[in-house]
Chains A and B, each alone.
Chain A
């Protein structure tokens, strides 16, 4: 079974600064996908970024980028130029390519300070 670990329950960052959220996972699969989801106070889960395990290049979406270290089974999210609207809970998630079930970490609460 896959496990996803987010060891930091909370983080805080000053507006306009950069913050990195950490995530590690454990799997014996070779075909898998990794995701970061954002859940603002509205509770709507929003996909932030997606990484395919077979791609070495790190995914990037505007101010969001990942540092995917496959050998270390690490998948951290970097948020550049933090904005107040980035305040949310962030979940790291793993998808097995064979059955497409998502396994989530426990989440991290990010607060952006004005």
Chain B
């Protein structure tokens, strides 16, 4: 069964810590995405990547960075965690632009991050 795996289901970090959220997909997808999900706000795109070592800012990139050294792995980095980054983080992947990518994304099961 193909899947997107997020390394942690729950995470608690302290303010100011550097936080890494890891995401791995086994579907050989070119595109990978990081969203954050907050009540009443839906899912908002933080960063995405359409190839190894490539990254593009989404709608809310401030306070975040990403790394994609291998095709299957896309990491979200909180350089200095703050309490307003407490949220659910969802990773997703899809095939390359156009064509089959229009069949939507495959999502991980989310990481609920609490920053105290």
Contact A9:B109 (CB < 8 A) given known A95-B104, A100-B102, A101-B45:
no
A30: Cβ under 8 A from any B Cβ: no
Interface residues on B, range: 20 to 34
Contact B103 A99 (CB under 8 A): no
Chain A residues, CB < 8 A from B48: 101
**1/0 contact string of B92-111 vs chain A (CB within 8 Å):** 10100110011111010110
Which of B19-27, B35-43, B68-76, B77-85 lines the interface with chain A? B35-43
**1/0 contact string of A76-114 vs chain B (CB within 8 Å):** 000000000000000101010111111111110000000
Contact A100:B98 (CB < 8 A) given known A35-B104, A43-B88, A95-B104:
yes
Contact B110 A97 (CB under 8 A): no
* A89 to B5 Cα, complex, angstroms: 21
Q: B43: which of A44, A47, A52, A104 is its contact (CB, 8 Å)?
A: A104
Chain A residues, CB < 8 A from B35: 104
**1/0 contact string of A28-45 vs chain B (CB within 8 Å):** 000001010100001111
* A104 to B35 Cα, complex, angstroms: 10
* A101 to B44 Cα, complex, angstroms: 11
Contact A50 B90 (CB under 8 A): no
Q: B94: which of A44, A93, A100, A104 is its contact (CB, 8 Å)?
A: A100
* A100 to B104 Cα, complex, angstroms: 8
* A62 to B93 Cα, complex, angstroms: 26
Most buried by B among A33, A50, A100: A100
Contact A45 B107 (CB under 8 A): yes
Contact A106 B88 (CB under 8 A): no
Which A residues have a C-beta under 8 Å from some C-beta of B? 4, 6, 9, 33, 35, 37, 42-45, 47, 50, 52, 91, 93, 95, 97-107
- A-B residue pairs, 6 tightest by C-beta: A45-B107, A106-B42, A104-B43, A100-B101, A43-B110, A104-B42
